[in-house]
Amino acid sequence: MSKGYVLVVDDEPDIRGLVREILEDEGYEVATAESGSEARALLHARQPDLVLLDIWMPGEDGISLLREWAGGGTPAFPVVMISGHGTVETAVEATRQGAVDFVEKPLSMGKLIATVGQALQQQMAATAEAGGSSTIIEPVGRSTAMRNLREQAERVAASDSWVLITGEPGSGRKCLARHIHQLSPRCNGPLVEVAAGTIAGQSAAEELFGQEEGGRVTPGRLESAAGGTLILDGAMDLDDEAQTRLASAIDAGAFQRVGGAQRIPLDVRMIAVTRHDPAAEAVTGRFRQDLAYALSVIPMSVPPLREHAEDIPELVAFYVDRLVDAEQLDYRRFTVAAQNRLRNHDWPGNVRELCNLVQRLLVLGDGLDIDVDEVESALSVVQADSAESDWPPALSLDLPLREAREHFERAYLQKQLQRADGSVAQLARLAGMERTHLYRKLRSLGIDPREGGETSGGRA
């Protein structure tokens, strides 16, 4: 599998040929362009993972192209400038426009290879961090259920088939999806995550497929994930248009950006993560049947924590070590009695709830040992917080009407979002609101539906 798709833009044929030969020997896929117009056409056809761009070219210089691709921000892909006439002013301008590095002519092939590799690694790290997956971990536990899950993940990862992962919220579904990517032949490619419940209407199609408007190209998540894996969280929340486009793309093996005519190859492995069975949703008419079948090539299920409670001591140890290291918290240890109490809890929020409890005890508690009474007290607080007794919310009559209304709306939508297990589509049905209006309301109230997402239950 290719290490990445590189576009080389240089007006000198010898340079283009030499760079192409060297990078292809290193395992990269390479396209070349001798001018800005040719580069623009190739870019419309397919987004590169990296561009090597000559500064001085007849007709249209590299800085102008870089400025166009950045569009006032930064390019959607790393750009490394090639220059035989570099000056401090040129370097500053290129960096200001979003270039990540320079290589000078005459080219040192060793430096070129190192620069390309480093730029791609930085891009992959940034993509993973934006998706919340900078640390990929495997599911924790020595129980039969978790051992079987890890063994199944190894077998599934070896193929390139699309995967459907179901399970209760908080059970570690996205952790498993990331683990599969890490084990797969696509592990050196990008890992891109998209929460379907956070996009709606036309924006869903643009988010997935990208957009072309006024000569400017905005790549979508499918294009950004080319050569790697796309984790689609909550596929049931996709609207009808996005479902139709995705089903057509799967059938054709290619897709078009919104507003564009160029067909782009569909080169991703998709892992759908959901709490629902797409086939069952298709029977009720809430989901396209052809898309349900396409996403469900290999079904996997993550068990709820109550079904492998024997793993709780190991999970607790993992979360303590991870939180102490990541957040510089004081180390504390759970007594055997405290661990046994945790094993007997029902854990409706699964490993996410367990992680949150461990964090609360590390932050708020004192002393080395966490005993059973402290655990009991923490569990009582959680149960009280989740009880219906906190509804309706207390409102101060001293508040202006506008602030009181916002306070109530925020509490109401947060409570309904809990009932909907974080699904914005289900929230819209419970609240009786059109989804586009609902998204605007959530944003105005500062409510992020993704905060109901998974906390990974895994091993570093």
Q: Which domains does the chain carry?
A: 5-130 (3.40.50.2300), 141-301 (3.40.50.300), 305-386 (1.10.8.60), 391-452 (1.10.10.60)
Q: Is the pLDDT of residue 9 over 80?
A: yes
In this predicted model, which residue has the larger pLDDT, 271 or 105?
A: 271
Q: What is the pLDDT of residues 130-163, one digit of tens each?
A: 444 445 578 999 999 999 999 999 999 999 999 9
Q: What is the pLDDT of residues 154-212, one digit of tens each?
A: 999 999 999 999 998 889 999 999 999 999 999 888 888 887 766 655 577 888 888 88
Residue carrying structure tokens 């586009």: 436
Q: What is the pLDDT of residues 295-329, one digit of tens each?
A: 989 999 999 999 999 999 999 999 999 888 877 88
Q: What is the pLDDT of residues 377-421, one digit of tens each?
A: 888 865 555 544 455 666 666 666 766 777 788 888 888 887 776
Give every CB contact of residue 288 below 8 A, 6+ residues apart in sequence.
243, 244, 247, 282
Give every CB contact of residue 104 below 8 A, 6+ residues apart in sequence.
82, 83, 84, 86
- Least trusted range by pLDDT, from 344-348, 417-421, 454-458: 454-458
Q: Decide: 302 and 171 in contact? Cβ < 8 Å.
A: yes
Q: Decide: 198 and 189 in contact? Cβ < 8 Å.
A: no
Give every CB contact of residue 130 below 8 A, 6+ residues apart in sequence.
none
SS3 assignment, position 266:
coil
At 387, the amino acid letter reads A
pLDDT for position 388: 46
Rounded CA gap, 121 and 116, in Å? 9
pLDDT for position 369: 94
Strand spans (E) along 171-244: 191-195, 211-213, 216-218, 229-233
Span 361-371, mean pLDDT?
90
pLDDT for position 453: 36
Rounded CA gap, 137 and 188, in Å? 16
pLDDT for position 51: 94
Instruction: Quickly count: other Cβ atoms within 10 Å of residue 92's Cβ.
Output: 10
Q: What is the pLDDT of residues 83-122, one digit of tens each?
A: 776 555 666 667 777 788 878 788 877 778 878 887 887 6
